[in-house]
Amino acid sequence: MAVNEWGQLFSWGSNADGQLGINTNSTDEHTPRMVKTLGTSFIVQVACGAKHTLALTNNGELYAWGCNEEGQLGLGVETTKELKPKLLTSLASIPMSHIACGGSHSIVVSKSGAVFGWGRNTYGQLGLNDTQGRGLPCQLRTLRNVKVRFVTCGEDFSVFLTMDGGVFTCGAGMYGQLGHGNNSNDILPRKVVELMGSTVTQICCGRRHTLALVPSRGRVYAWGLGGAGQLGCRVSRSVTTPQVVLGPWVSPNGVAMVTSDKPSTPHSVDCVVRHVFSGGDHCFAVVTHRKDNIAPDDCRILEPSSQILVVTEEQLGACQRVPKEAPVDHDLLTYLETVFSSQACLNASFLLADDAHYGCSSKQHGVDLELATKLYTTIADLDNSTIKELIFTCVTESLLPTLMPSPPDVESLRVYLTLPLYQSFNDPKLCNKLHKPFSRAVLQLKPEALKVVGLWWSRAPMKYFERLIQIYKSIVLYFLQQSKASENKIPLWEANSLHSTSLQLALDMLRFLNKLNHSTADGLRVPYDCFHLPDLPDCVDIRADYVKWFTEKDPHVQRKIFFCNYPFLFDAQAKTMLLETDQAIQMQSAMNEAATRAITQMLFAPSGAANISAYVTLNVSRENLVADALRELSRYHSRDLKKPLKVKFHDEEAEDAGGVKKEFFMLLLREILDPKYGMFKQYEETRTIWFSEDSLEDEDMYSLIGLLCGLVIYNFIIIDLPFPLALYKKLLGEPVGLADIKDMSPFLAKSLQDVLDYNEPDIEDVFCLHFEVTREIFGERKIFELVTDGSTIPVTLDNKKEFVDLYVDYILNKSVESHFKAFHEGFHKVCGGRVLELFHSHELMAVVVGNENYDWEELERNAVYKNGYSKDDPTIEMFWKVFHELPLEEKKKFLLFLTGSDRIPIQGMKAIKITIQPMADDRFLPVAHTCFDLLDLPRYQTRERLRYKLLQAIQQTQGFSLV
């Protein structure tokens, strides 16, 4: 076989098994003939076995032909020979750097050191830990992380050279050709110990012997079969360990390898070895004069001419220099077409320098994302439209159709990491040609491959992850705007078209990204509001979407798009609208049911009809608030709790328009949740509370608290519940862990993290921990074992993670299981149902307790003025000037005075309305005192100071009321 400078392949010699690839049954060819099947391909490497051939093209395609009786072609075992080159589709996307053939087996090495072998394996020459032949490529897992750079094969053995100059061998060893000091076969690659400490830069195999070059010493080593003198050690015998070849050359410092004074001994010449070669049973070496100072060849340095093409800064620089309308050089167009049409080429591009890309795995992709971003940005900035159109066409029409669900190796997945950096992904108008096939390819990946891509994406820089989110959000928004602008628009949930498929895939990609965002151990990768589409309610009737989703038997049925299946797109305002919609549906249903029952009872039992009301009315006293609430709520069935709620305090005439109800919840929950009653314990560090495992209260009390929390959400009341986020996670079925302990007790969380981070062997002596939890209950110290006989099991380096997991699980789950179960049941009596599927824990918590994302300017912008006041009135200007000068804590107290809570609703400050109007008489002070007293805030000095500062600004004008 021979390859010319234009990548054309020629062959001659024996063709009994089709090994010449010329598609004829001729036995011999005495003159070179071009392999026409590969005439349009550019060959960069070729390797010959005894009766088969491999060839690698510059676009990463690997072809095989010839004898296949042992499966050495890697095409399966269905055929015994191939007369012309045939593509190995099983390795199509792997960026290969080196190929080699043995007698009847084949080995290839990828860019990042993955090694694949196939063919005869009688002696373990494939290194797969067995002697079973392979008809398809199989990876040598044991060599994954040793950085294999080069491989050469003998008749029935294989030799591997690593980046650090180490040599591994496997296969037949009956003549010592493995170099391990024995004549045994090895079915797993083993390092040649005799060469350790030396940096080998060249290896080559004969039929049953091996050569290695160590240039730092100027020595060639040989081992294996030596009956024909092929070892160069003056004796015709086999050796099992590397021996120095006694050749007429010197070391780099001038020391001769031959030191004999006999006349028959060839005298040393002042030359050094540049390259060594092996034939079947012979060897030769190429040398250079030492004075020329020419470095020996290094098999670990792969010549660019022998490698597949990659995206380079140099070639893109040439593209930059092409004027806007100028014709493009044919070679440059060919290069671009080759690279951007090939998965292998892109998978070999943008790799980390200094061989840091070796050992590609789910944790290490080996891609230089900064370089990839830079080069794709260069492409976006090109002036020549022909080049940009060619690249786009190659990506969409040639590359994307080749993406397969089951790639052969993790290296094949790099294209999923780098291709989204292509700037055309920023244009949603290209979604049908670009985003749609890419999204489908990602989502159709086998679970193992999809998991790797997900890990790479989630661990990429935040800017990269946000870019992916923005890409698919822009597609969704694009389709929504198109639908909104259409005169004859089809409801999206009934759409069944090309566009709806693209929309569906974009939504599914966002769901996948949202799942990745929640899968990191350190919490959210990006804030959950990065997924929000604030414009969604403007383009889609989300209330109607919810109703259809709510009533659909199978909401995930194909060909129907429900945005409620993608709740992460809804911002706080949208989710509040959906909660209101669900509330309205449930309340109306409960009221209709009550009315139906009332009519039925009126017809058949007139005396009982008066007892049926369209409201849940609670009559309670301030003196026995808890007992009264428990009694009143127990009178209602869970279905009745969906009705509108009204609260009536004994001997008080106030009509419940919302304020009485809010006061009821505040007073009741404040009393029930007080740690002094023992139902909950408070963590002093964070002032949060959690279920007390040693409470003596009946489970009905926990059920009542859960029911009250459900009513708080259902009636849109913000109340300061000091529960940590873990409570809301458990209510929604989200997993809880060590991070949730930190929300309650940072000290305990740090202590547990210290155990996880400690990696010294004296961990038992340092921490003295066992699989148990110690608690003090009513003054008595009690021990709870985390596992059977846990008190006798010490925490070690091997089981420390298990200990921490069990400890966290005990605190958050097992120790409070019965109490939380009652709480959960009470909560779901009111808030059960599918609407909770739309919320995640952070949002559910914000619905209950509000948040502290204050925007005081927004409060001013939303203020309403009546009865002569306007925003430009001097009184109003003075009021806002003084208000904005107040410290944060005093602003929060004012908010508490205004709304009953110092936190704001989930929708933000825009949900708070303040109305300012003149008053005919000075009723401001009594109103202020009443409100503060009602809220039980006996901080008179603070209250007076706040009132004074506010009134000082308007002391010379008439007063105004805050509604």
Mind telling me the catalytic residues? Answer: 931
**Minimal CA–CA distance to 198: which of 162, 226, 153?**
162
Distance CA 49, CA 71 (A): 12
Q: Write the DSSP symbol of residue 266.
A: P
Q: CA quadruple 789, 795, 799, 801: dihedral positive or negative?
A: positive
User: What residue has token string 């759409």?
Assistant: 495
CB atoms within 10 A of CB 863: 18
**Minimal CA–CA distance to 39: which of 3, 71, 8?**
8
Residues 168, 157: contact at Cβ < 8 Å?
no
**Minimal CA–CA distance to 419: which of 478, 477, 459, 379?**
379
Residues 6+ apart with CB under 8 A from 923: 959, 961
Distance CA 222, CA 700 (A): 85
Distance CA 923, CA 432 (A): 66
Instruction: Show the 3-state SS of 62-88.
Output: EEEEEECCCCCCCCCCCCCEEEEEEEC
Q: CA quadruple 470, 475, 480, 485: dihedral positive or negative?
A: positive
Distance CA 749, CA 912 (A): 37
- Going edge to edge, which strands form the sheet with 81-87? 43-48, 52-57, 62-67, 81-87
Residues 57, 43: contact at Cβ < 8 Å?
yes
H or E element: which one contains 346? helix 343-347
H or E element: which one contains 748? helix 746-757
Residues 845, 725: contact at Cβ < 8 Å?
yes
Distance CA 222, CA 238 (A): 10
H or E element: which one contains 44? strand 43-48
Distance CA 578, CA 837 (A): 11
Tokens of 660: 């009485």
Residues 6+ apart with CB under 8 A from 521: none
Residues 147, 163: contact at Cβ < 8 Å?
yes
Q: CA quadruple 589, 594, 597, 603: dihedral positive or negative?
A: negative
User: What residue has token string 């830990």?
Assistant: 129
Distance CA 35, CA 42 (A): 12
Q: Residue 875, exposed/middle/buried by CB under 10 A (0-12, 13-18, 19+)?
A: middle
Q: CA quadruple 901, 906, 909, 910: dihedral positive or negative?
A: negative
